[in-house]
Chains A and B, each alone.
Chain A
Amino acid sequence: DTEVTQTPKHLVMGMTNKKSLKCEQHMGHRAMYWYKQKAKKPPELMFVYSYEKLSINESVPSRFSPECPNSSLLNLHLHALQPEDSALYLCASSQDYLIRTDTQYFGPGTRLTVL
């Protein structure tokens, strides 16, 4: 089973709201990722967690706050977002980030609209 699940599927929020995106995998993977994807563009890496520790932050604004409560779960907390943050947010997982042949498996994404 190579399934990564994400909730919610769609989210509409105002610029003053606080919301969270959730991601879960039960493949025993030790690396989890957040990507942002604008329409008709490739995904852009935001964060990488390896063994539940934040390994990479691609200079993402602090209004995005990731959290990895355990090896199966990854959250993205959102606060005071801007309309330009509207996008498809993709979660991915892989066996071990430091293995160069590692394959990432993606969830279906959360479509976020910021009003």
Chain B
Amino acid sequence: AQSVAQPEDQVNVAEGNPLTVKCTYSVSGNPYLFWYVQYPNRGLQFLLKYITGDNLVKGSYGFEAEFNKSQTSFHLKKPSALVSDSALYFCAVRDRDDKIIFGKGTRLHILP
């Protein structure tokens, strides 16, 4: 079955520092990967997705993600973190049954 894993429950980063939120995937066939962000008591907001082509995907709010086929990873990155980036981040993969399978989520804390 298709799946994604987010190995960190929480990531703490100082404001202004680069941030990385990790995601690894397990799929058969071509992976279709997504990142969503959820602010407290809100719905999920789409950040970016990987379909094919360039391994570096640029998304909303200055985020980008690097697709690495050999390491089966799709880590979310940002060069300089903002306090307002503090939120819950979900990696997701398109399942063979066309459902979206979410990782368990990683809580990102940006420290002022």
**Chain A residues in the interface with B (C-beta under 8 A):** 2, 4, 6, 40-43, 45, 48, 56, 88, 90, 92, 97-98, 100-101, 103-109, 111
In the complex, which of the residues B42, B88, B90 has the most CB atoms of chain A within 10 Å of its own CB atom? B42
Whether the pair A101, B98 counts as a contact (CB closer than 8 A) is no
Quick check: B104 and A111 within 8 Å, CB to CB?
no
B41 lies within 8 A of chain A by Cβ: yes
Q: List 19 A-B contacts (CB under 8 A).
A: A4-B43, A41-B104, A42-B90, A42-B104, A43-B90, A45-B99, A45-B100, A56-B99, A90-B44, A92-B44, A97-B98, A98-B98, A100-B32, A101-B49, A101-B51, A101-B94, A106-B45, A106-B46, A108-B42
Kindly list the 8 A-B residue pairs having the minimum CB-CB distance in the complex, ordered from nearest.
Answer: A42-B102, A106-B43, A106-B44, A108-B43, A101-B51, A109-B43, A107-B43, A90-B43
**In the complex, how many angstroms separate the beta carbon of B70 from the nearest chain A beta carbon?**
22
A residues near B104, Cβ cutoff 8 Å = 41-42
A103–B51 alpha-carbon span in the complex (Å):
11
Interface size in chain B (residues, C-beta < 8 A): 22
